[in-house]
Structures are given as structure tokens and as C-alpha cells.
Amino acid sequence: MRSDKKDILGLQEMPIADIEEILDTAISMKKLLSSGTKRTPHLQGKTILCLFYEDSTRTRLSFELASKYMSANQANITASGSSVSKGETLLDTARTIDVMGADVIVIRHPMSGAPHMLAKNVGASVVNAGDGMHEHPTQGLLDMFTIIEKKGSVEGLRVAIIGDVQHSRVARSNIWGLQKMGASVCVAGPPTMMPREIERIGAEVFDTVHEAVTDADVVIGLRLQLERQKQGLYPNAREYSKFFGIDQNKLRLAKPDVLVLHPGPVNRGVEITSDVVDADYSAINEQVTNGVAVRMSILYHLTRR
């Protein structure tokens, strides 16, 4: 990458030039994916290891496919099937992987900062695939890629992020990343799910979804992160959906050509209605396809250092 950084830990710290370079290469990777070849020699001889301490469908599978499409050696380690369940520390597990010859370690961990700690202690490049409630930079990049694909640019857009902002690493990466690239970002969600620091990082906070989506170019829905909530932060799903769910009615206030995104997995009928998920202005499926292209680009740049 242009900045010669070893790791991808977050969009807060990522230079604009690196973001641009990753997104640019992802365009070629996407062309390659749709050409039907799905095989390049770019990562021949490289080893990519995915170390997942939390559940994942899209992120893990897209790193796995990205590695395989580019001819890398790739393996997955999950907490339950490894020595982690025998009490090994994260650092010892990672050092073991490192000395086995990993070039890139992709890690998802419930603790904020876990990938940063690893990055300082291993020779391999480390990619943060989600650290607690902190960041999910590769999701932020694929969201940005999808927005640029649909809107031409991020600059000057009004982006509304709706839902459980407090527990969402996707929200933080998007706020940092999209603002850096020239968008204005606002958020709305129940007060119990709105962290105090959010205004400090530049996002305007609204009490209602109606206010947040008014004139929005892009609306990003977030899943209710029940696994991170200590106690019920909202009375029930029906009420949540009425006030904070994204539906056709609320979207009428947005720009006529609004684009709707959601990182998945989606709770249909809770944070977003089923008809919005499947509408032609929703790019939720394209986000998944773009996730493979963006991760191919990331692995390509990290292994060329």
C-alpha cells in the first residue's frame, strides 16, 4: 500500500491514499470475479490464516474465497475447535500461527484492540475483521466501494446510519471512513444505544429516524447486537421496529434515489422491513459480492509489501 503499513486495523487511522488504492484495485478484482475465471496467481506461495473468535458468515467466507481465488494457501481457526478452548492465550495462538509461516492473519475477536495487540507481536500482516464494538474496517471499505459504485463518489453525500450504534463496529468504521472521504454522516437510534462519544467523532445525532433519513443519499441499517447488550435496552422487537426500523414510509423522506445498505446478517422485520431488504434501491446482496472483491484487493496489497 502507498503508506507501507503492515496491517489493516481501522479506518480511523487509515490514510486516504490507502483507502483510494484499495478501492481502486477492488474494481479490477470485481471485473475478474465477473469474468468467470475466478483464478489469479497473485497470492501464489502466500499463506492466509483466519482466526475467528466470534461467529461469522460473510466476512470469514469472503476472506476464504478471496484467498482461494488468488491461489493462496488458506486455513481457518475457530475458538471452539482449537487450543483456545484449552486455555491458550490469544498471543500464544497467534505466535504459533506466525511461526508456521502465515503472511496474513485475519482476526475477529470480541475484545476491542485485540488485532492491534497482535499486530505489534507478530511478523505477519494483521487484518481486523471486527474487534468488539470498535472497528470493522473491511466492512467499512466494502460499504464505501458499494456507495461509489452506485453514486459515483462519496464526497458530498448525506449518509444516515440507523440503529444500535453503541454496539456496532460497522457504525464506527463507517463514520470514520465516510467522513474522511467527504461525506456527512448522521445517526439515529434509541438513546440507550447511542454512545456519548459519537458526536465527538463528527456524526450528527438525531432522536428520530425521520429526522436522520430526511434528504439522505444513503441509509445504512444496523443489526440489533443483542449478543453485546447486557440487559434489554428496548422493550420489544415490535416497538423497536415501529420507531427505529427502516421501512418504506420513513424512506419517503430520503432522496428519491436513496441507496439502502445493511452489513448483514439482517433481522427482517426488526431493524429493516423485508420489502426494503428486497427492494431495487437496496444493495445488500451487492455488498456481499463486493466484499469478496475488496478483500481480494486488501490481501493483494498487504502481500506485496
Nearer to ligand NCD, 109 or 136 (CB): 136
Q: Given the complex with ligand NCD, which of 47 and 62 has the nearer CB atom?
A: 62
Taking CB atoms, the residue at the shortest distance from ligand NCD is 223
Between 12 and 40, name the residue whose CB sits nearer to ligand NCD.
12
Rounded to a whole number of angstroms, the minimum distance from the CB of residue 287 to ligand NCD is: 8
Count Cβ atoms within 10 A of the Cβ of residue 150 and give its class: 0-12 exposed, 13-18 middle, 19 or more buried: middle
Min dist. Cβ of residue 245 to ligand NCD (A): 15
DSSP bridge partners of 109:
131
Q: Are 102 and 83 in contact (CB under 8 A)?
A: no
- To the nearest whole angstrom, how small is the minimum distance from the Cβ of residue 165 to ligand NCD? 12
Residue 303: C-alpha distances to residues 1, 2, 38, 70, 300 (Å): 9, 13, 19, 11, 6
- Beta carbon of residue 155, minimum distance to ligand NCD (angstroms, whole number): 25
Q: DSSP secondary-structure letter at 191?
A: G
C-alpha to C-alpha distance for 86 and 20, rounded to whole angstroms: 42
Q: Is 169 helix (H, G, I), strand (E, B) or coil?
A: helix
Name which of 46 and 270 has its Cβ closer to ligand NCD: 270
Q: Which three cell numbers stand for residue 192?
A: 440507550
> Which cell numbers hold the place of 50?
483466519
List the grid coordinates of 4. Answer: 507501507
Based on CB atoms, which residue is closest to ligand NCD, 226 or 279? 226
Report, in Å, the least distance between residue 293 CB and ligand NCD. Answer: 15
Q: Distance between terminal CA atoms of the chain?
A: 7
By CB under 6 A, name the binding residues for ligand NCD: 58-59, 130, 136, 139, 169-170, 223, 225, 263-264
Tell me the closest approach of the beta carbon of residue 44 to ligand NCD, in angstroms.
28
Q: Which is nearer to ligand NCD, 223 or 301 (CB)?
A: 223
